[in-house]
């Protein structure tokens, strides 16, 4: 339990700390642990196990299954690369990236749920990786999500180059996309902590890099596809062109540098940083609203990148 995050409850001598998150520092005695409350000015103190609510544990069988899934994802990339640019196996890579995103968000929500503050139902995504059990899943799932996204973008650039040899990495937005995938991996490996330490700084930086990289990639990628002549084989019709239609018609906002989506995403990050600096306490109503908006923005980004599966399937 040492180093884990808990939520305090049922305290008689320190009732003001009921509902506060705390970090377990060390074992005090049998059935008692020394904890440091988060977000309040209080010295570490000993508390009984019965007064600590922990997050759910990841069963050992699922831990093993998690690493089997990692191996299968790496194998998928290797097989798709070996199959060559005309193989539809490549379309499975962005789908796998989306699946890892869903595993990260839904799995961490389940593990983190017992730690939710009263009245909070939709936390910011980063908050769901603070417990030790959820942290493992968060790191693995988002790490693989970023890796598979990078592979997807390289595959897409290869597809674009095959039909239009004059395209550059600037035209396709490849570099910005790789920056976004790096940000996803960085904020996944460096999870949010209760204090405003280096790992928290790296996590928040990774989240911001993800957003800026995504917006810039979407702007360049959508712009390049719009400039294609009508006879381009990349301008598919029917279901084969669904991905392109999705990006051009429904996610146009991602390509706008002044998009309000950036502000919507940044506000929860500022709230998270402010709480760790002790500027304010948990704001339940605000956190629910910001959580919903952040989930919606991130889901839109995930769908945007996954739409490349249709392009890769229609090689």
pLDDT per residue rounded down to tens, the chain (315 residues): 778 899 999 998 888 888 888 889 888 888 889 998 886 667 888 999 999 999 999 889 989 999 999 999 999 999 998 887 667 889 999 999 999 999 999 999 999 999 998 888 888 898 899 888 899 999 999 999 999 999 999 998 988 888 888 888 887 889 999 999 999 999 999 998 877 789 989 998 999 899 889 888 988 888 888 888 887 877 776 666 778 777 776 666 555 544 566 666 666 666 666 666 655 555 666 778 778 878 888 888 898 899 999 888 866
The number of residues making up the chain comes to 315
Q: Check whether residue 189 and residue 271 sit in a common domain.
A: yes
Residues 6 or more apart whose Cβ sits within 8 Å of residue 189: 139, 142, 143
Q: Do 272 and 172 share a structural domain?
A: yes
Report the distance separating Cα 79 and Cα 245, nearest Å: 29
- Does 173 lie in the same domain as 152? yes
Name the nearest CA neighbour of 101 among 214, 196, 221: 214
Is the domain of 16 the same as that of 131?
Answer: no
Residues 31 and 135 in one domain: no
* Gap between the Cα atoms of 282 and 37, Å rounded: 13
Question: What is the total count of domains within the chain?
Answer: 2
21 and 147 in a common domain: no
Helices (H), 169-283: 169-172, 174-189, 198-226, 242-245, 260-276
One domain, residues 234 and 299: yes
Beta-bridge partners for 124: none
- 33/98 same-domain check: no
The domain in which residue 118 lies consists of: 60-313
Query: Are the C-beta atoms of 209 and 181 separated by less than 8 Å?
Result: no
**What does the pLDDT read at residue 311?**
86
22 and 115 assigned to the same domain: no
Half-sphere exposure of 197 (CA within 13 A, CB side): 7
């Amino acid at each position: 339990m040492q180093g884990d995050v808990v939520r305090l409850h049922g305290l008689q001598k320190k009732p003001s700390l009921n509902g506060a998150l705390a970090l377990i520092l060390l074992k005090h005695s049998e059935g008692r642990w020394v904890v440091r409350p988060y977000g309040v000015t209080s010295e570490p103190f000993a508390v009984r196990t019965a007064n600590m609510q922990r997050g759910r544990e990841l069963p050992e069988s699922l831990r093993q299954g998690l690493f089997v899934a990692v191996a299968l994802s790496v194998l998928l990339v290797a097989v798709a690369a070996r199959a060559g640019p005309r193989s539809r196996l490549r379309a499975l890579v962005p789908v796998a990236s989306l699946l890892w995103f869903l595993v990260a968000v839904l799995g961490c929500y389940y593990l983190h749920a017992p730690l939710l503050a009263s009245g909070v139902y939709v936390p910011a995504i980063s908050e769901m990786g603070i417990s030790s059990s959820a942290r493992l899943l968060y790191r693995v799932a988002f790490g693989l999500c970023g890796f598979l996204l990078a592979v997807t973008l390289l595959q897409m650039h290869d597809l674009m180059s095959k039909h239009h040899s004059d395209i550059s990495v600037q035209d396709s937005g490849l570099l910005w996309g790789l920056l976004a995938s790096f940000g996803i991996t960085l904020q996944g490996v460096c999870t949010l902590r209760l204090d405003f330490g280096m790992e928290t700084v790296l996590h928040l930086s990774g989240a911001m890099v993800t957003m800026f990289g995504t917006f810039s990639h979407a702007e360049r990628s959508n712009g390049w596809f719009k400039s294609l002549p009508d006879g381009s084989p990349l301008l598919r019709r029917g279901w084969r062109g669904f991905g392109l239609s999705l990006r051009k018609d429904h996610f146009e906002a991602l390509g706008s540098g002044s998009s309000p989506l950036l502000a919507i995403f940044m506000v929860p990050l500022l709230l998270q940083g402010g709480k760790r600096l002790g500027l304010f306490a948990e704001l339940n109503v605000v956190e629910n609203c910001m959580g919903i908006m952040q989930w919606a923005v991130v889901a839109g980004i995930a769908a945007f990148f996954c739409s490349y599966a249709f392009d890769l399937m229609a090689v």
